[in-house]
Structures are given as structure tokens and as C-alpha cells.
Chains A and B, each alone.
Chain A
């Protein structure tokens, strides 16, 4: 089992709809969770961080965390064509005595005008 798993997609969503991206992780002691957006050929950009169970909202983005189910998601409301990108889930935990991020392979999202 991979440490961080995402559906690779592609996920296709019409403009104006809600895009839902999901991520599961295997390490129960993971402490913090991140969503990065990566446009083709560009570097990952941090868009959301979440540390506690529940929802965290920032503009059109909502991150949801359920530690019991080892599940984190990202909702994008009122999707825009500019949201078309690959979204990387990253999980932070203590590994070999050090804080390390483990990344999922990413979900490719396409917003259709």
C-alpha cells in the first residue's frame, strides 16, 4: 500500500461546478496535511494546509480532514478553467526521526468551459 494515495484522474469538471479531490494516507500518526497545485512544467504551489479534523475554508477552496478514516479532501467551488492543474496531496509525519512530507502522485483536474 502506498503511503499517500490519490486517484490520478484525469478528473473532468464543468466550469462553475464543484471539483472534489480525494487523498488517503496509511500512517496513523501523520500530523499535518497539505494540498499543492502544480501547473504543467511548473513547481508545486501550496494552496491549503489542514491540521485538525473537520473543514477549513479559504476562498473557493475547502480542505476536509478525517483522521479516523485517514482521509483528506479538497473541494473547489465555482471551478474556473484556471483551476485546471495537477493537485498533489502531501502528508507530514515523523519518519526515521525527522519530519518529512510524503506526496501522492497527484490528480489531474480539467475544468471544461
Chain B
């Protein structure tokens, strides 16, 4: 089945460490997204990419960076992790040019920054 995968699924790290979260997809979609989810705050967009050469900031990009290594791979980095980056992180994909922008989510990464 075409799928979206994320690694790692859980990560505990310390303040100041560099962390990379990875996302891969076999759906053949061009568009990829990174969201974080916090209790009471819903899903918030961090970065998105419409193709390999296109990277855009979302509403909460400060403290994060991304890399689109290939159509199927989109990585999120926390250069120097801080405790308020503790959250559930989701990668999502959607089809290029799709008017409706249906997005499909990976299983998520639970990140804890101590």
C-alpha cells in the first residue's frame, strides 16, 4: 500500500541537542508538509514543500529547518532543541495540482525535550 512513514516514532532528547525527524512516502505525491500538534492548540504548520526545489515556511517555523532530499523524502531538523518543542510531529503529503488539497498523514513522531 502507498504509505507515509516517519522515523523515529519516539524520541527523548536534551535541551541544546540537534534532532532530525525523517519522513518518506510511497504515494507519489509532490507536496509534503510538517505539522506539530500540542494539546489544546491543534495542528500547526511548520514547513511545506511543493516540490524538491520549493520550500516554504508555515506559521511556526522559528527554531526549525527542513530539507527535501528527493520527491519522496522530507526531513525536519531542530538545530538546538528546547523544552517547548516537546510535541507530536506529523508529516503529511498531498497531490500536486490537486484543487482540493486532500492531505494524508504519517504515523507521527512523539518528541520529548528535557
Q: How many residues of A contact B (CB 8 A)?
A: 23
Beta-carbon contact of B101 and A43 below 8 Å: no
DSSP class of A's interface residues: helix, strand, loop or mixed? strand
Considering only residues 59-113 of chain A, those with a C-beta below 8 Å from chain B are 88, 90, 92, 98-101, 103-106
Chain A positions 19 through 55: 1 when the CB is less than 8 Å from some CB of chain B, otherwise 0: 0000000000001101010000111111001010000
Beta-carbon contact of A32 and B50 below 8 Å: no
Note all chain B residues with C-beta closer than 8 A to A106: 42
Bound complex: CA of A101 vs CA of B90, how far in Å?
A: 14
Bound complex: CA of A88 vs CA of B45, how far in Å?
A: 15
Nearest chain A residue, comparing its CB with the CB of B58: A100
Note all chain A residues with C-beta closer than 8 A to B108: 42-43
User: B50, B101, B104, B105: which contacts A92 (Cβ < 8 A)?
Assistant: B101
Beta-carbon contact of B103 and A49 below 8 Å: no
Given the known interface contacts A31-B99, A49-B102, A92-B100, the answer about A44 and B42 at a Cβ–Cβ threshold of 8 Å is: no
Beta-carbon contact of B100 and A45 below 8 Å: no
Shortest distance from the beta carbon of B114 to any chain A beta carbon, whole Å: 20
Bound complex: CA of A32 vs CA of B100, how far in Å?
A: 6
Beta-carbon contact of B42 and A104 below 8 Å: yes
A–B complex contacts, Cβ < 8 Å, 6 sampled: A31-B99, A51-B100, A92-B100, A101-B45, A105-B42, A106-B42
5 tightest A-B CB contacts, nearest first: A43-B105, A105-B42, A32-B100, A103-B43, A92-B101
The interface of chain A, by Cβ under 8 A from chain B, is 31-32, 34, 36, 41-46, 49, 51, 88, 90, 92, 98-101, 103-106
Other contacts beyond A44-B43, A92-B100, A98-B48: 8, CB < 8 A:
A36-B105, A43-B107, A44-B105, A49-B100, A49-B102, A101-B103, A103-B42, A105-B40
